[in-house]
Chain A
Amino acid sequence: MNSIQPMARIKGGVHEQQPHESGHKHVSGSAEYIDDMPEPADTLHAYLGLSQRAHADIVSIDFEAVRACPGVIGVLTVDDIPGHNDVSPAGKHDDPVFAVGKVEFHGQPMFAVIAETRQIARNAAAKVRVEYRDLEHAIDVLDAEKAGYPLVIDPLKLERGDIAEGLAKATNRLSGEMRIGGQDHFYLEGHIAFAMPGEDDEVTVYSSTQHPSETQHMVGHVLGVPANAVTVNVRRMGGGFGGKETQANLFAAVAAVAAKKYKRAVKIRPDRDDDMVATGKRHDFHVAYELGFDDDGRIEAVDATFSARCGFSADLSGPVTDRALFHADNCYFYPNVRLRSRPLKTNTVSNTAFRGFGGPQGMVGGERMIEDIAYALGKDPLEIRKANFYGDAGRNVTPYHQTVEDNIIPQIVAELEASSDYAARREAVLAFNRDSRIIRRGIALTPVKFGISFTKTEYNQAGALVHVYSDGSIHLNHGGTEMGQGLYTKVAQVVADEFQVDLDRVKVTATTTAKVPNTSATAASSGSDLNGMAAANAAQQIKARLVDFAAEHYAVAKSEVFFEPNAVRAGNRLIPFPDFIRTAYGARVQLSAAGFYKTPKIHWNRAEGRGRPFYYFAYGASVSEVSIDTLTGEYQVDRTDILHDVGKSLNPALDLGQVEGAFVQGMGWLTTEELWWDAKGRLRTHAPSTYKIPLASDRPRQFNVELATWSINREETIRRSKAVGEPPFMLAISVLEAISMAVASVADYRVAPRLDAPATPERVLMAVERLRAARNGK
């Protein structure tokens, strides 16, 4: 008999706080990002030449001065593209790699310089002489609407009940509008791609991409080669946030085209300013709404239009604007509702995915409606919120006809209201404002309900590859990408837990299209839901074979074989895991498996605006208290309390980090992060010197973040966890509304402040002035 005793539990299983698998490498500078990889000696560097006009015909381009620079190898133009000059992820053929004949936004790539060093390529690219013939341009969404600009993709309408009758019969009605700004991702690692030419038509691309399979297809499409000739690898990104879901494709394609043309490795990395000018961002929105509600603030009808600045092409604007509509209800039941999207073309960079994917803009619009009702009735907005929460049958169907089956928002809000001492603090804020001449305070509690699943149903599938080597070490690969969220850690925990081995026995390897094919973007918060399940499936396949083997080899019933911590029990024997695996290998057991998962239950009919697009919902709520200076519009967040639902957490430490990080990122979006275009259509906030994301000193002065540890996903997700990437981003809406309340104090809370986002100090001060004027009857 073997004498080892089973350990109580493995180290690093699911539901445990585990450090990020690369944490020790992050802090020591040894985590390798693409720009850190050793380059082959003859590596070339590409640099994009960008349009200097927002909308113009290209009359001529003169590359003489570019080519004359010492060290320049060549200039890549559309003529060098062997396949298609197109990287449209929407299949609309409206996203050229290089603009041809016409440029449609300031900063649009027109060509690339290939040179011996990046600096030479960058300097040379600036020496191009382009003759433009200017055309009229529309930068702002309302200007585009006025100028009759087209929609970049078919709009969506969600409708339920009878909107005309609902509004006509409503006790009270109001209408309003709001502007919601966009947001730059400001991933710390900018875009980068590094391509190595291979034999025949082959190419390998290291790309900072959230969507390796799409990058693979786009590179193939541009090169005119099938997908099997292209391998895309990504070990980690220095942040993604949606900015590398489609936007990495152009860089990968340019590097690949150059690598094939010059038969040398080619790296492309734009400067930060060019990255911010040339790649898409969160969509800016204009929301116009008409509401009907009763005297208790209970909503009777909502008719709203969400117009988005999509930029010059479709990119992901269709699903982004769809998701805005899907979240315009947030946690509230709308008896009669009509929501419409207007995905407008503009002469700006094509806007793209960004954490929440339109959902935040929809939700900000929905919460603004609640706020308006509260000010109209002179009530605490929280009271209006509670009056409108989804409820039982009759009040549990969304505008897209999905029944809300897992509603826990009343419990979340009740707990947070108590733990944050909301009611007393609101009274204290009101009292403070009565006596304070210059500084005013505000407090707001806002909830979040966020739908989980890609609304494009086919994306809700995933693959994984698990090898158990004969020494008992485990190799894990899956289709998800690591951008800091800890996906690799979580999936490894799942696999360690399946095999009941310590986490350090599992090595997660770089995501590559060569190991797991046809993957979905690591997006829509889906990473661990999809890839965790696929990896578990792979492990289970291997385990099933091992159980068969053990039953036969040790002559026990299958029901007597157990995976115990770092050992396998077969009847009375306890065999250390490596020994057991060595024995299984000797018996010729297949120790590798490809796992697969597809999300059940979901379906969506876009034409009818009806279905069950979401497998489940994630919930959360936050209370923020702020102070503003009514002389300058400056403000600070004094305190934020959060209670957030991640189901049964796979890794509470990482989930807490996601919640804290998402909140602060959302706060930046709604406060200091301002995209500002000048009259010529040039984005002038295109670097951290001008575009201000939150600093350590901007985080709430008191920041109390808790996970709802009692929550368990009703659906059979991976270990009953819930997605966490996007939902907490919208917790930051409480900051915007708290600032609103502080502003409202100058007019005794009788006028809705209608504060647009981002609420920069300027917007806050101007709102204060506006409300003072309104109070004084001007």
Chain B
Amino acid sequence: MDIQTRTSLRLLLNDRLVELTDVAATQTLLDFLRLDRRLRGTKEGCAEGDCGACTVLIGRLTHGQLTYESVNACIRFVGSLDACHVVTVEALAAADGTLHPVQQAMVDTHASQCGFCTPGFVMSLYGLWMHNPSPAVRDIEKALQGNLCRCTGYAAIIRAAQSVSARNAGHDPLVAERARVIEQLQALKDGRRVDIGEGKQRFILPADVDDFAAVLDANPGATIVAGSTDVGLWVTKFMREIGPIIFTSHLDGLRRITADDSGLTLGAGVSYTDAYPAISEHFPQLSELWNRIGGEQVRNMGTIGGNVANGSPIGDTPPALIALGASVRLRKGPNRRTVPMEKYFIDYGKQDRVPGEFVEAIHIPALKPGELFAVYKISKRLDEDISSVCGAFKALLDTAGKVQAATIAFGGMAGTPKRAAAVEEVLTGASWDDATIERAMAAFTADFTPLTDWRASADYRLLTARNLLRRFHLETTGEDNIRLNRYAAVAG
């Protein structure tokens, strides 16, 4: 089938249709809003997706459904937003200035001080309120993991979020206009390839996954950008030229989730947020880790495929996925191959992916009956932090209580996410008891020579890695209450 090409980008910005023909590949949404459109309610706090001052909502039709999600405008590229609805803080209040209930709640509970982070908090809470009008404290905290406030200590903001549900929903632009927005976005989704600009400034939104494969094969030097939670920083922090760019976040075909007896298959474009229901159903041991990846905005943008493809030495999901025996399906043009994830990471900054090839899907095999599994993320700050050490443990015991098989993988301990082969060897065939654990803990030095950096010292990393094995053993042998429970004392 011939792919038709369009040379303009079309999106909704608040209540307006915007058509752009001259837009740079790396134009960030934040600069577009602030400099081009003079919408200056959205703030720049960090330009790296960590503070949330630039939070806006993006509405998109996925598989025909309109959903709005909070994102960081600072690391989101405008080019990725074809057929999306961008909603900024300016859109919330009514035309007569009447504040939206989320906004009024923030005023009434004295939840703003300097006010600079406030529009971002408003947008995050608005995004939460749309999905969950009566959130519990844990839901609010989760929705705000990606928003930093330096003034209030957050207590007043939590009070605001809790009081929204008691208010009259009043005027809500997205509720009132929902049908019209769906209609408009459907009209914008014309199935064409978008191809704008020349040379380094060129960017392409392929029409579908096959078109993506073809476009990438023809432009193997292009940078693939999915959620841009990592690549965004290449531009905003490292000032790298990354064009031409191929955007993939619009591709429904990469956002498929399939579960069957063999396990779970996640399309490379599945966001952490999209994956969460399936992950928590099939691998409940991953739920906590999942909820501690980035902040809500990053989870809404970031993809499993991007997380694996870029090969961070720490990685949010790879240690767990390696321990689970996950595999990576790669595609180049029409050709596909599958590699075990642990083989995909070759060395620091080097992955088993050739130019023109892309990660199409991740397959996670189901746990076998009786298989023990846990993943532990250790970080300086509990939420929205990169792990200093992340350990994932899978073990199968035989009826005699001996370890039949053990798969252990760590992030933050080497140049890549890596198996603890020597530790596994000690465990395999041994009794699942304290003595074995002691011996296995001693084997860590054979597997890892971690580095000292700002996240942790080598000594701490090694000690903690060992202690996590201890924790795994304790938790799988009936010791309860050996982990901090942050919600034990929190209502809701």
Contact = CB atoms under 8 A, between A and B. Distances in A.
Given A29-B90, A241-B150, A272-B47, A697 B112 contact: no
B288 to A, nearest CB: 12
Given A634-B484, A661-B152, A664-B153, A189 B382 contact: no
A761 interface: yes
Interface stretch (A15-23, A87-95, A561-569, A590-598): A15-23
Interface in B97-115: 99, 103-104, 106-108, 110, 112-115
Interface string B362-382: 000000000000001011111
A123 B239 contact: yes
Contacts of B380: 672, 674, 692, 760-762
Given A26-B118, A484-B113, A239 B151 contact: yes
A127 B369 CA distance: 59
A695 B484 contact: no
B484 A627 contact: yes
Nearest to B237: A273
B228 to A, nearest CB: 15
A174 interface: no
Contact of A695 (B381, B471, B483): B381
A698 interface: yes
B99 A28 contact: yes
A701 B487 CA distance: 7
B115 A26 contact: yes
B70 to A, nearest CB: 14
A684 B454 CA distance: 7
A629 B41 contact: no
B489 A639 contact: yes
Nearest to B460: A762
B198 to A, nearest CB: 16
Given A439-B484, A634-B378, A660-B152, A189 B116 contact: yes
A227 to B, nearest CB: 28
Interface stretch (A30-38, A322-330, A411-419, A710-718): A30-38
Considering residues B117, B454, B456, which has the most beta carbons from chain A within 10 angstroms of its beta carbon? Answer: B454
A653 B110 contact: yes
A150 interface: no
Interface string B440-456: 00000000000001111
Interface in B435-482: 453-457, 459-460, 463-464, 467-468, 470-471, 474, 479, 481-482
B119 A484 contact: no
Contacts of A484: 112-116, 151
Contact of A188 (B31, B149, B381, B488): B149
Interface in A472-525: 483-486
A688 interface: yes
A23 B112 contact: yes
Contacts of B34: 35
| Chain A CB within 10 Å, residue with most, of B40, B53, B155, B157 | B155
Interface in A667-687: 672, 674, 676, 678, 684-685, 687
Nearest to A122: B239
Contacts of A696: 140-141, 144-145, 147, 149, 154, 157-158
A238 B43 contact: yes
Nearest to B157: A696
Given A188-B43, A703-B155, A27 B467 contact: no
Given A27-B118, A28-B41, A697 B145 contact: yes
B454 A685 contact: yes
B114 A189 contact: yes
Interface stretch (B219-227, B272-280, B383-391): B383-391
A438 B479 CA distance: 10
A507 B152 CA distance: 24
Contact of B112 (A26, A30, A638, A656): A26
Given A189-B114, A661-B151, A705-B155, A765 B484 contact: no
B454 A690 contact: yes
Nearest to B470: A631
B51 interface: yes
B122 interface: yes
Interface string B27-57: 0000100100011111111111011010000
Interface string A731-742: 000000000000
Contacts of A5: none
A638 B489 contact: yes
A17, A238, A660 pick with most chain B CB within 10 angstroms: A238
A17 B155 CA distance: 17
B110 A698 contact: no
A60 interface: no
Nearest to A699: B154
B51 A28 contact: no
A28 B155 contact: no
Contacts, number: 278
A663 B153 CA distance: 7
Contacts of A141: none
B144 to A, nearest CB: 4
Interface residues of B, number: 92
A63 interface: no
B148 A693 contact: yes
A662 interface: yes
B490 interface: yes
Nearest to B236: A271
Contacts of A28: 41, 89-90, 92-93, 99, 103, 119
- Among B44, B115, B142, chain A packs the most CB atoms within 10 A around the CB of B115
A24 B385 CA distance: 32
B50 A439 contact: no
B153 A188 contact: no
Contact of B115 (A22, A185, A674): A22
A522 B45 CA distance: 23
Contact of A33 (B43, B108, B385, B490): B43
Contacts of A437: 474, 479, 482
A238 B116 contact: yes
B108 A19 contact: yes
A138 B189 CA distance: 60
Interface in A69-103: none
B150 A186 contact: yes
B156 interface: yes
B327 interface: no
A600 to B, nearest CB: 30
Contact of B471 (A126, A238, A631, A633): A631
A291 interface: no
A30 B88 CA distance: 12
A769 B107 CA distance: 47
B149 to A, nearest CB: 7
A424 B248 CA distance: 59
B113 A485 contact: yes
B153 A662 contact: yes
Given A188-B149, A693-B148, A762-B457, A439 B481 contact: yes
Interface in A746-771: 760-762, 765-766, 769
A158 B99 CA distance: 55
A152 B298 CA distance: 44
Please give me the 10 A-B residue pairs with the lowest Cβ-Cβ distance, nearest first: A29-B41, A484-B114, A238-B116, A26-B115, A664-B153, A484-B113, A688-B50, A692-B381, A29-B89, A26-B112
16 contacts: A24-B103, A28-B41, A36-B40, A188-B51, A189-B43, A272-B46, A627-B484, A629-B482, A633-B460, A638-B489, A656-B110, A692-B380, A695-B144, A697-B141, A699-B155, A761-B388
Interface of A: 17, 19-20, 22-33, 35-36, 38, 119, 122-123, 126, 185-190, 236-241, 271-273, 436-439, 483-486, 627, 629, 631-636, 638-639, 653-654, 656-657, 660-665, 672, 674, 676, 678, 684-685, 687-690, 692-699, 701-703, 705, 760-762, 765-766, 769
Given A26-B106, A688-B46, 15 more contacts: A17-B110, A22-B112, A186-B148, A189-B43, A629-B483, A632-B376, A638-B488, A653-B110, A660-B152, A662-B153, A674-B380, A687-B48, A701-B488, A702-B489, A703-B153
